[in-house]
């Protein structure tokens, strides 16, 4: 045999080599998940719930470690990390373990419609397969985990791509599940930037769950549509808070100040536009200004800090530009929190309140992802509702009033995925309450039974309880059959009781005719 020399291929350009490497990582993870998922799905739902309960126990034991990781990577205060990333996640683990088995259990039920009197149905909820989750940096433990929990409980495998800014927060999540006994391959974390996320979307997963910007969400939705796979998208918002004239102004100011400035204002579901009825405007602004002036801004690791730094300097630059645009167009700064102590380094933006704001300014048109809060005077609730609904976003909203009936009436008219009365933001931490947006704020719902539905395919199994009787809609056409069908229509739908009863004998013959007879 003659051996010919083989010319080696030319070296791959760095960008192509990187792309090849990213695809290889994604393909390997998805293949591993595909192999592991069937055995995980075959386990009884009670066994999968037991793994989630063990995860809960491991997380509780390691809660301070996890909170410390989140604070170190994200910059948020230890209190914010412990409450919003760890303790709330413990609530979700408890709820999922308790409710998923009941949700997944199937039972025989009646079928609506007289024509289907003999039928019964059971809904089998089956896992979708391999779920690709792309998670953000602002709640780097809570947000991915509250997607992972229902996905795993329903029998899916998960490939998780966290933000490149908070890789360790997702890495510890994988560690916790491994310690809880989750089988290898059922949950995998792949690290990388947007290129890794894009590869995951087209990497052969069966569904994509994404939390992030509207622009990226649109690209993901297009990619999923081209593959005919589903997606669930939470795409941020510019939530409106409406303060009615009868509200407890100190209560409203404290609640809105916390909701807006916690996590350095980097929360999708927080009040970013505050509309106050004219009669309460001055009092609310004064109360909010007092609350902001008392805030302690500092490093997240400092126990006294209430507002930490932002995620990076580029985020501060964006917020500076939005604030400066408003000031150039006539807005006023009416309150600013004290700056951090001298020598404290980090990408800080002190919590700031603006007034004299209008829709020409970026702070009302765009999402402000940081501690900047515009307060707008409105004539009445009608104007507040109209201006709140004028946004392209619709993630959440809040209404502040002592009159619950009036608050409910206003809430029903707001174009938002969720509305809270006399509180804000906290809805995202409620395990049993569906959460998601409308308009540009996203597709689908997380949390509660609606969130469990996002991770299953529902398969109805329909049974006929009298298998030897001819079905009324099968072929046996003729004059007698047509009269029976007409009698069914009369009995089921005629407005008069007398007319309905006239159709009863024909319906009985139609439903009880034996196979093949005419």
Active site residues: 234, 268
Give one DSSP letter per residue of 373-434, joined into a string. EEEEEESSHHHHHHHHHTSS--SEEEEE-S-HHHHHHHHHTS-SSEEEES--SGGGG-TTS-
CA angle, residues 314, 320, 321, in degrees to nearest 5: 95
Question: Are the CB atoms for 390 and 437 separated by under 8 Å?
Answer: no
**Residue 4, SS3?**
coil
Q: Are 163 and 135 in contact (CB under 8 A)?
A: yes
CA–CA–CA angle 270, 142, 320 (5° rounding): 40
**Structure tokens belonging to residue 59:** 């997380």
Instruction: Round to whole Å and give the CA distance between 74 and 67.
Output: 10
CB-based burial label for 459 (10 Å; 0-12, 13-18, 19+): exposed
Please, which residues bridge with residue 373 across strands? 353
- CA 191/CA 266 separation, integer angstroms: 22
DSSP assignments along 166-184, one per residue:
-HHHHHHHHHHHHHTTPPT
Structure tokens at 79: 């209190």
Q: What is d(CA 511, CA 115) in angstroms, rounded to the nearest whole number?
A: 8
b/e for 350-366, b at 16 or more Cβ within 10 A?
Answer: bbbbbbbbeeebbbbbb
Alpha-carbon dihedral angle through residues 23, 26, 30, 36, given to the nearest 10 degrees? 130
User: What values do phi and psi take at 297, rounded to 5?
Assistant: -100, 130
Query: Where do we find the tokens 């029998």?
Result: 155
- Within 76-144, strands assigned E span 109-110, 119-127, 130-134
How far does Cα 59 stand from its chain's mean position?
22
Report the SS3 class of residue 343.
coil
Dihedral sign computed on CA atoms, order 497, 498, 499, 505:
positive
Distance between CA atoms of residues 447 and 95, nearest Å = 10
Please state at what angle helix 404-412 crosses helix 381-389, rounded to 10 degrees: 30
Residue 427's nearest CA partner among 237, 294, 250, 230 is: 237
């Amino acid at each position: 045999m003659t051996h010919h020399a083989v010319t080696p291929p030319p070296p791959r350009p760095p960008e192509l080599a990187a792309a090849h490497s990213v695809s290889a990582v994604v393909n390997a993870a998805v293949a591993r998940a595909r192999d592991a998922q069937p055995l995980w799905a075959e386990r009884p739902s009670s066994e999968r719930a037991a793994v989630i309960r063990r995860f809960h126990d491991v997380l509780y034991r390691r809660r301070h470690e996890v909170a410390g990781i989140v604070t170190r990577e994200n910059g948020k205060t230890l209190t914010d990390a412990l409450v919003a990333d760890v303790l709330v996640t413990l609530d979700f683990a408890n709820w999922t373990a308790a409710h998923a088995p009941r949700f997944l259990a199937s039972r025989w039920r009646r079928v609506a419609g007289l024509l289907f009197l003999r039928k019964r149905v059971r809904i089998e909820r089956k896992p979708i397969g391999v779920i690709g989750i792309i998670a953000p940096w602002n709640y780097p433990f809570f947000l991915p985990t509250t997607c992972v929990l229902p996905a795993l409980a329903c029998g899916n495998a998960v490939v998780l791509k966290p933000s490149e800014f908070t890789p360790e927060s997702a890495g510890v999540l994988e560690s916790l599940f491994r310690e809880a006994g989750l089988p290898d391959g059922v949950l995998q974390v792949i690290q990388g930037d947007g290129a890794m996320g894009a590869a995951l979307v087209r990497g052969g997963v069966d569904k994509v769950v994404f939390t992030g910007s509207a622009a990226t969400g649109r690209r993901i939705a297009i990619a999923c549509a081209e593959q005919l796979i589903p997606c669930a998208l939470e795409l941020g918002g510019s939530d409106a808070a409406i303060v009615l004239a009868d509200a407890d102004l100190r209560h409203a100011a404290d609640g809105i100040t916390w909701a807006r400035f916690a996590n350095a204002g980097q929360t999708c579901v927080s009040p970013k536009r505050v509309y106050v009825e004219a009669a309460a405007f001055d009092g609310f602004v004064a109360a909010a200004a007092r609350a902001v002036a008392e805030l302690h801004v500092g490093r997240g690791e400092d126990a006294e800090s209430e507002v930490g730094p932002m995620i990076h300097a580029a985020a501060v630059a964006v917020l500076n530009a939005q604030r400066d645009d408003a000031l150039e167009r006539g807005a006023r700064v009416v309150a600013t929190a004290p700056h951090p102590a001298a020598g404290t380094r980090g990408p800080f933006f002190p919590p700031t309140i603006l007034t004299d704001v209008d829709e020409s300014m970026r702070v009302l048109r765009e999402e402000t992802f940081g501690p900047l809060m515009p307060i707008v005077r409105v004539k009445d609730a009608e104007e507040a509702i109209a201006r709140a609904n004028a946004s392209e976003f619709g993630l959440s909203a809040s209404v502040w009033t002592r009159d619950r009936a009036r608050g409910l009436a206003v809430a029903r008219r707001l174009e938002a995925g969720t509305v809270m009365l006399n509180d804000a933001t906290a809805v995202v931490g409620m395990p049993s309450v569906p959460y998601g947006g409308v308009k540009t704020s996203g597709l689908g719902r997380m949390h509660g039974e609606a969130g469990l539905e996002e991770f299953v395919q529902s398969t109805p199994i329909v049974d006929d309880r009298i298998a030897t009787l001819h079905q009324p809609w099968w072929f046996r056409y003729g004059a007698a059959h047509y009269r029976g069908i007409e009698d069914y229509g009369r009995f089921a739908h005629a407005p008069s009781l007398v007319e309905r009863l006239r159709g009863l004998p024909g319906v009985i013959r139609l439903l009880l005719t034996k196979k093949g007879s005419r």
